[in-house]
Amino acid sequence: MLGRTLREVSAALKQGQVTPTELCQRCLSLIKKTKFLNAYITVSEEVALKQAAESEKRYKKGHSLGDLDGIPVAVKDNFSTAGIETTCASNMLKGYVPPYNATVVQKLLDQGALLMGKTNLDEFAMGSGSTDGIFGPVKNPWSYSKQYREKRKQKSHGENEDSNWLITGGSSGGSAAAVSAFTCFAALGSDTGGSTRNPAAHCGVVGLKPSYGLVSRHGLIPLVNSMDVPGILTRCVDDAAIVLGILAGHDPKDSTTIQDPVKPFALPTLTDVSKLCIGIPKEYLTPELSSEVQSLWSKAANLFESEGAKVIEVSLPHTSYSIVCYHVLCTSEVASNMARFDGLEYGHRCDIDVSTEAMYAATRREGFNDVVRGRILSGNFFLLKENYENYFVKAQKVRRLIARDFVNVFNSGVDVLLTPTTLSEAIPHTEFIREDNRTRSAQDDLFTQAVNMAGLPAVSVPMALSSQGLPVGLQFIGRAFCDQQLLTVAKWFEKRVQFPVIQLQELMDDCSSIFENEKLASVSLK
Amino acid sequence: MATPVLRWCCLGRRCVFAGIGGGSRRGRGVPTGSTSSEKRGQSSVAQQPLITAQKPRKGEREWAAVVGLEIHAQIASNSKLFSGSQVDFAAPPNSLVSFFDASLPGTLPVLNRRCVEAAVMTGLALDCHINRRSLFDRKHYFYADLPAGYQITQQRLPIAVNGRLAYSICVGKRRSQMVTRTAGVKQIQLEQDSGKSLHDSLRSQTLIDLNRAGVGLLEVVLEPDMSCGEEAAAAVRELQLILQALGTSQANMAEGQLRVDANISVHHPGEPLGIRTEVKNLNSARFLAKAIDCEIQRQISELENGGKILNETRSFDYKLGCTVPMRDKEGKQDYRFMPEPNLPPLLLYDSRSLPIGTDPQQVIDIDRIRERLPELPRVTREKLVQQYGMLPEHSFALLNEVGLLEFFQNVIKETRAEPKKVTSWVLNTLLGFLKQQNLAVSESPVTPSALAELLDLLDRKAISSSAAKQVFEELWRSKGKTPAQMVAEKKLELMQDAEALEQLCRSTLEAHPQVVTDVKKGNPRAINKLIGLVRRATLGRADPTAIKEVLERQLSS
């Protein structure tokens, strides 16, 4: 049951094959079993069971609230959840219990979803590995998969397997791991430069970054307001569409959401791709790209072409400036957004009380890690009167050029762009931490980051396993607010590639009872 | 004024404006000090009067002062600029604080329509250009009562620009002449108010009240077109009246709804502007002019003694009667301005640009606000002058007191007395009594109807004006009685018996032969003495003109 997709389990709930409470308990039990993954910061067991009981009552009365009623979900710990600690994996917010729900969280709860807990991340979502939070790194469930272990055995060098676990990518690594390890059916991430798509690719799940302005950011603790979007992590594209249908729409509490009404939608099944034009941006073929990912990318392009789609090479000439431009804009907004953490109204406060200024300084030094403090420092530098024109304003101009690149390509008739999501498959933690957070973020956001500059929708879909037995995801980028079209193409692709299901039997030996008499793999996830 | 006055002076009656029509005109749009590198707008009509109270002694040169103002007016609105919290001056501390006001992470600003309308209306009233597109910015500084660490304001592209504020001041020997001056309105911007810090020095702690945090403010920036405290005070007063007439701000200085910062510099005419200082928090109407003049005085003394003016922020210490540097704002502040990313550009429309089919709740139509503009104080005053032949200064006085104009108009409605008489009674007698007892117009024991009736009696010559004063005093003391009752009670009717008056005049002439001789010698004042004597004999109940008539007839016969 846990291996099913959201849509399947929703059908099972409706048919009474399983009750919300049973489902909830199974997930809770699996969360405990997989605790070592460190995917969750807070497990909201009591809340989830209470919600499950209420959901069960509704099912018994025969009026469930919809597709999400009774479905276990997880939420990244940078979304405000009423009554549930929200830490951003930072000392600054350790112990902070918000009095309100983020709009997206509220929407999930209004649909009867069960909140299993808050997932791990890089501190304040600043990172690409889910390794830099105060609660420690998230471990990629694929590290423990049969697929990966078998490959490793073949070329076993006698390394200590346990110390060689893989990173999930990030910053929404906890959410990606939670979905990948079957502890929930959908999870919320956030995506500022690729933070949803990157871990989705590394964990073999679908990661959707909706168009900027389609989904409310109210209650999402910001990284870069002008680029942040709540992300959706699921096991298949259809599930992402279901969740997006529920989350999308105008929120009076977020003035940057679009006013046009958005209706929930079911994705059509595309049978004919001959009218599609797929663009392959040539700038994305970088030397850093692993040959394996590159070849899968070509294979995907060929797949479209062989089915009759028009596949053309396109140019996004300003791509190479994206990372440096992002660095300026991101750190500037970070410097501004982090100014509120002064220890006065909420969050950490130091013991020093010589003066207000001394209290601020010590509170912020104790509360933020080096990455956050580093970004605040650079951001404030870029915003100084004498630097503003040379850095911030220039970066904004470059941002416009980057956005225009995409507009030009889409105006030329391209429907969807196809690119890699990451340079390579997930790498071991020991290897990842050889470089610092800044270097890693710059490398890992390469393919995902420009999309945020332009506010476009993009989705990472797992395609195949690498030679090491690890998932590789590819990214589709769509026109602004054409999220549905984007997902339709992604769904077609997903069906064609038949990405294998993660095999975690060994890991879950103890929970064999849970999986007994159940096909772990669902129809669409063979 | 006890302060030693150098050659500069602009206080009280000694204020002399020598620049009018002279060669030293400068356009507005000149910054108040040389530290400002901004280039400002076109030149205009405003004059830069020189202050030359006394003729400079040989070898000494005149000084000119330049004053610009930044005025913060709290917008009269039920809720705050970006949150739904109520606005209430007197609420218990921290009782009106939304999650956004406390800057809880993840909260976002949502612009209050009412505040935008207030800004547009104020902009229109001040002849501003209303920007169809304006932007919000973050201004960063760490302060305990600024929870987000930044204030949302409109630094780059404010909602209204390039307006003018006409105000009047009294000039002339007896300060009886009103002169209208104009200060340019550089811009009007919407911004958030901060909270309040309460310093408890005893326990060395600071308490924060966030009720005010996030309340909508209109920052009105006046060009440095003023040259002394009196002008600045008059401009602020006029702005206050306009805001109150519009209802966009209660603009009560005592409640902090109107706060003024002044940029001040001095220079020798014809030379570049001096370094400016900023005097912050001029929050009392009483001290506004004084504080500015003191700062001008200080700068002149400083320069004359070979000192330098620092580009600094100062505050007015009303106990010491001088400005002092502000300690907490020491050092250069870099506000690290940045566009507010959570608020899209604020778009305004007019009837021509309004997109078809838009929900009127979602857009603001400038033309509709223009239609709703109430009469401005300037127009009200002009009407008073035209309609009642009133002196301009009287029209100012009528508008200067809350409710006084309404009182006046109610009296006018009910009485047959001349408007001039009504004006005089309202401005001299009524206002005098109110001021003496520190009462508001609404608290006056004498109602408009009672005053109207009293003035009718006077108009009919039923009572003399001195009797009328007496009746007024009685009315003031004992409510509930009508003037007619009072006149009857006190027997204050004017003497109508002509024969009795003849008799009284005759006996007065007989009793004072010396004065009669004086009259006959041609001393014009002597007759007045006689009139006074007769009036006293009638207990003030006879009309002086009637007495004069009778006396003159009897003297010449």
- Which of residues B292, B320, B339 is at a domain's end? B339
Residue A171: asked if its preceding bond is cis (omega within 30°), the reply is yes
Cβ neighbours of B99 in A, within 8 Å:
99-100
What's the mean pLDDT in B132-159? 96
Rounded to an integer, what distance in angstroms lies between the CA atom of residue B239 and that of residue B119?
13
Structural domain count, chain B: 3
Identify whether the C-beta of residue B32 lies closer than 8 Å to the C-beta of residue B273.
yes
Rounded to an integer, what distance in angstroms lies between the CA atom of residue A59 and that of residue A73?
18
B242 touches chain A (CB under 8 A): no
Inspect the interface and report whether the beta carbons of A339 and B99 lie closer than 8 Å: no
pLDDT at residue B548 is higher than 70: yes
Residue B208 counted as domain residue: yes
Cβ atoms within 10 Å of A154's Cβ, excluding its own: 9
Pairing relation of β-strands B150-153 and B196-200?
unpaired
Q: Which one has a higher pLDDT value, B540 or B534?
A: B534
Mutate to test the interface with A, among B138, B327, B336, B362 (most CBs of A within 10 A): B336
Burial grade of A397 (CB within 10 A; 0-12, 13-18, 19 or more): exposed
What's the mean pLDDT in A230-243? 97
- Here the tokens at position B353 are 């640009």
The CA-based angle A133-A137-A141, given to 5 degrees, is 140
Q: What is the reported pLDDT for B488?
A: 79
Q: What is the reported pLDDT for A507?
A: 62
- Residues of A marked active site are found at 76, 171, 195
pLDDT at residue B4 is higher than 50: no
B213 touches chain A (CB under 8 A): no
B466-517 pLDDT, tens digit per residue, is 888 888 998 898 777 888 888 878 777 777 677 888 888 888 888 888 888 8
pLDDT at residue A487 is higher than 60: yes
Residue B427 counted as domain residue: yes
Same domain, B483 and B506: no
Same domain, B288 and B424: no
Identify whether the C-beta of residue A378 lies closer than 8 Å to the C-beta of residue A331.
yes
A298-355 pLDDT, tens digit per residue, is 999 999 999 999 999 999 999 999 999 999 999 999 999 999 999 999 999 999 988 8
Mean pLDDT, chain B, whole residue set: 85
Same domain, B504 and B480: no
Residue B360 counted as domain residue: no
Residue B107 CB partners (closer than 8 Å, separation 6+): A218, A219, B98, B99, B100
Answer left, alpha or beta for residue B390, where phi above 0 means left and psi between -120 and 50 means alpha.
beta
Q: What is the reported pLDDT for A526?
A: 30
B107 touches chain A (CB under 8 A): yes
Same domain, B397 and B520: no
Q: Which of B105, B108, B205 sits opposite A340 (nearest CB)?
A: B105
Same domain, B473 and B524: no
Q: Which one has a higher pLDDT value, B28 or A439?
A: A439
Rounded to an integer, what distance in angstroms lies between the CA atom of residue B154 and that of residue B136?
5
- Which of residues B465, B490, B515 is at a domain's end? B490
In three-state form (DSSP H/G/I as H, E/B as E, the rest C), the secondary structure along A316-355 is CCCHHHHHHHHHHHHHHHHHHHHHHCCCCCCCCCCCCCCC
Identify whether the C-beta of residue B231 lies closer than 8 Å to the C-beta of residue B67.
yes
- Which of residues B433, B456, B490 is at a domain's end? B490
pLDDT band at B361 (very low <50, low <70, confident <90, very high): confident
Residues in chain B: 557
Q: Which of B104, B144, B338 sits opposite A336 (nearest CB)?
A: B338
pLDDT band at B328 (very low <50, low <70, confident <90, very high): low
Query: At B290, phi and psi to the nearest 5?
Result: -65, -45
Residue B46 counted as domain residue: no
Chain A 185-224, residues with CB within 8 Å of chain B CB atoms: 217-222, 224
Q: What is the reported pLDDT for B519?
A: 83
Q: How many CB pairs under 8 A join A and B?
A: 102
Identify whether the C-beta of residue B147 lies closer than 8 Å to the C-beta of residue B210.
yes
pLDDT band at B25 (very low <50, low <70, confident <90, very high): very low
Residue B38 counted as domain residue: no
pLDDT at residue B31 is higher than 50: no
Q: Number of helices (H) and strands (E), helices first, in chain A?
A: 19, 11
Give residue B225's identity as a one-letter amino acid code.
D
Q: Which domain holds residue B308?
A: 64-339
> What is the CATH classification number for the domain harbouring B540?
1.10.10.410
Q: Which one has a higher pLDDT value, B26 or B413?
A: B413
Same domain, B144 and B275: yes
Same domain, B476 and B508: no
Say which DSSP state A272 is in: -
Q: What is the reported pLDDT for A162?
A: 64
CATH for A6-152+163-272+457-513 is: 3.90.1300.10
Same domain, B538 and B467: no
Beta bridge partners of B271: none
Q: Which of A224, A156, A155 is CA-nearest to residue A195?
A: A224
Same domain, B467 and B335: no
- Per mean pLDDT, which range of A510-524, B66-80, B142-156 is the poorest? A510-524
What's the mean pLDDT in A350-370? 93
B206 touches chain A (CB under 8 A): yes
Q: What is the reported pLDDT for B528?
A: 86
Residue B520 counted as domain residue: yes
Inspect the interface and report whether the beta carbons of A360 and B106 lie closer than 8 Å: no
Q: What is the reported pLDDT for A156?
A: 60
Residue that has been written with the tokens 């610092």 in this structure:
A436
Same domain, B218 and B102: yes
Identify whether the C-beta of residue B453 lies closer than 8 Å to the C-beta of residue B459.
no
Give residue A108's identity as a one-letter amino acid code.
L
pLDDT band at B59 (very low <50, low <70, confident <90, very high): low
The distance of A354 to chain B (nearest Cα, Å) reads 9
B150 touches chain A (CB under 8 A): yes
Q: What is the reported pLDDT for B17?
A: 31
Q: Which of B296, B253, B263 is CA-nearest to residue B34?
A: B263
What's the mean pLDDT in B293-297? 95
A381 touches chain B (CB under 8 A): no
- The structural domains of chain A, with segments of one domain joined by +, span 6-152+163-272+457-513
What's the mean pLDDT in A495-521? 65
A424-464 pLDDT, tens digit per residue, is 999 999 999 998 888 888 888 889 999 999 999 999 999 99
Rounded to an integer, what distance in angstroms lies between the CA atom of residue A167 and that of residue A172?
11
Residue B200 CB partners (closer than 8 Å, separation 6+): B206, B207
- Here the tokens at position A58 are 């509704």
A127-170 pLDDT, tens digit per residue, is 999 999 999 999 999 999 999 998 888 766 555 556 789 999 99
Share of chain B above pLDDT 70, in %: 88
* Largest distance between two CA atoms of chain B: 99
Rounded to an integer, what distance in angstroms lies between the CA atom of residue B430 and that of residue A459?
78
B138 touches chain A (CB under 8 A): yes
Give residue A337's identity as a one-letter amino acid code.
N
The distance of A370 to chain B (nearest Cα, Å) reads 20
Residue B335 counted as domain residue: yes
Same domain, B207 and B297: yes
Coil, strand, or helix at residue B339?
strand
pLDDT at residue B416 is higher than 70: yes
- Per mean pLDDT, which range of A88-92, A184-188, A436-440 is the poorest? A436-440
Q: Which of B109, B148, B362 sits opposite A339 (nearest CB)?
A: B148
B374 touches chain A (CB under 8 A): no
Cβ neighbours of A76 in B, within 8 Å:
none
Share of chain A above pLDDT 90, in %: 86
Rounded to an integer, what distance in angstroms lies between the CA atom of residue A404 and that of residue B436?
71
pLDDT band at B42 (very low <50, low <70, confident <90, very high): very low
The kind and range of the H/E element at B434 are helix B431-437
Q: What is the reported pLDDT for A203?
A: 98
B376-400 pLDDT, tens digit per residue, is 999 999 999 999 999 998 999 999 8
Same domain, B228 and B313: yes
